[in-house]
């Protein structure tokens, strides 16, 4: 069955089920000219939006509807996490090619709704239309945070320790497996593939870090460690020094790199789409934050480097050698030829 037989309003009716999971403070969700909801006293509103385009960000035949819906929302949730916020209301715009099956679309909304429910997010509205070529999804997502706890990119200070909430590079390795149609039946390869397809937005981690004393700046790893730290460096007018042996690399990525004769560090630094958080912490508070983090999550907060005054980005090898690094991330136009993320 395709959309022509269901119609726009029929489709909206079908997908509206299960969208409102936190009805408090919602005056109007799907079905009017705009959604209406009460803003929360004493809280700042956060808003992020991500546009996903077929053949740029994903290949429809290489991803299930469920995974596409899940990840479309996950990338937005990750942006709210990187601000230290709590996610609230999602608005889903979708442009649907005529031949796209409703089964695929219902699966897509299923993936989105599962993740939304897990993080207490309402799907409050959006827009549905046709498309002549590609499937297009735009999600706008609001969040909230207390004014004093918001984590920005421009507030890192020289001397801050740089930390990551998780492993880096797994997602890029998973992408390699998916694009080259390499079997992911082994646990190791399966987990790499999942890291790419079903990344966990670090909302709890972001909120936790935002409440800790001494955490100054944060960003999520979407374009890649070097590119995303580059944003913090540029906006904070500081430099970055990373320690090669401290960058957290999973045993899965090591196994992958052993199989494919490649360098885990390259995947970790330039990979992208890990959706872990990077943060900078005042040097006198870094130990306390790390201990609190370990106690809260049962996982370490990985210390990977320091913020410097130099405005350069550099990587220190265990032998003391210094290698300059660049923001060689995922500029959609120049470096990768209009983008090449695929999930």
Of residues 9 through 38, those in contact with a second copy by CB under 8 A are 9-11, 27-28, 31-38
Nearest to a second copy of 50, 274 (CB atom): 50
Among 58, 66, 70, 91, binds a second copy (CB under 8 A): 91
Per-residue CA distances from 54 to 57, 157, 160, 210 (Å): 6, 39, 39, 34
Contacts to a second copy from residues 97-156, by CB under 8 A? 98, 124-134, 136, 138, 140, 142-143, 145, 147, 150, 152-154
CB atoms closer than 10 angstroms to residue 24: 7
x/- site string to a second copy, residues 168 to 187, per CB under 8 A? --------------------
Residue pair 233/239 in contact (Cβ under 8 Å)? The answer is: yes
Nearest to a second copy of 174, 230 (CB atom): 230
Residue pair 179/62 in contact (Cβ under 8 Å)? The answer is: yes
x/- site string to a second copy, residues 67 to 86, per CB under 8 A? -----------xxx-xx-x-
Contacts to a second copy from residues 264-303, by CB under 8 A? none
- Residues with Cβ within 8 Å of 204's Cβ and at least 6 positions away in sequence, in order, are 297
DSSP state, residue 159: T
x/- site string to a second copy, residues 217 to 246, per CB under 8 A? --xx--------------x-----------
Contacts to a second copy from residues 191-220, by CB under 8 A? 219-220
β-pairing, 122-131 vs 86-97, is parallel
Q: Which residue has the tokens 């596409």?
A: 68
Nearest to a second copy of 232, 265 (CB atom): 232
Nearest to a second copy of 157, 332 (CB atom): 332
4 lies in the site for a second copy, by CB under 8 A:
yes
Give φ, ψ of 277 to 5 degrees.
Answer: -105, 145
Please give the structure tokens belonging to residue 241: 């020094």
Least Å distance, CB 85 to a second copy, is 7
Among 15, 19, 30, 46, binds a second copy (CB under 8 A): 46
Among 17, 45, 310, 326, binds a second copy (CB under 8 A): 45
């Amino acid at each position: 069955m395709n959309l022509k037989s269901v119609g726009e309003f029929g489709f909206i009716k079908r997908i509206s089920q299960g969208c409102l999971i936190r009805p408090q403070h919602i005056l109007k969700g799907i079905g009017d000219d705009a959604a209406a909801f009460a803003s929360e006293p004493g809280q700042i509103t956060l808003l992020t939006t991500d546009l996903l385009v077929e053949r740029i960000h994903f290949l429809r035949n290489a991803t299930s509807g469920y995974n596409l819906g899940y990840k479309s929302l996950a990338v937005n949730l990750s942006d709210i996490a990187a601000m230290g916020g709590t996610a609230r209301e999602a608005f889903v715009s979708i442009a649907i090619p005529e031949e796209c099956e409703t089964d695929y679309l219902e699966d897509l909304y299923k993936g989105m709704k599962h993740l939304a429910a897990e993080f207490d997010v309402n799907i409050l509205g959006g827009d549905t239309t046709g498309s002549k070529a590609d499937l297009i999804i735009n999600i706008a997502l609001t969040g909230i945070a207390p004014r004093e706890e918001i984590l920005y990119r421009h507030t890192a200070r020289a001397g801050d320790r740089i930390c990551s909430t998780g492993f880096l590079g797994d997602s890029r390795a998973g992408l390699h497996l998916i694009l080259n149609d390499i079997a992911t039946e082994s646990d190791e390869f399966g987990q790499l593939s999942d890291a790419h397809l079903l990344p966990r937005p670090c909302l709890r981690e972001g909120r936790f870090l935002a409440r800790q004393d001494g955490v100054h700046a944060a960003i999520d790893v979407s374009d890649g460690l070097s590119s995303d730290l580059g944003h913090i460096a540029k906006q904070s007018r500081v430099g970055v020094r990373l320690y090669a042996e401290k960058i957290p690399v999973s045993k899965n990525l090591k196994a992958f790199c052993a199989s494919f004769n490649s360098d885990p560090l390259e995947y970790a630094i330039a990979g992208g789409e890990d959706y872990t958080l990077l943060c900078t912490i005042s040097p006198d508070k870094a130990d306390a934050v790390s201990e609190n983090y370990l106690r809260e999550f049962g996982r370490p907060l990985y210390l990977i480097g320091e913020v410097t005054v130099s405005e350069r980005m550099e990587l220190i090898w265990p032998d003391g050698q210094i290698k300059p690094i660049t923001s060689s991330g995922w500029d959609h136009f120049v470096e990768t030829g209009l983008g090449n993320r695929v999930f």
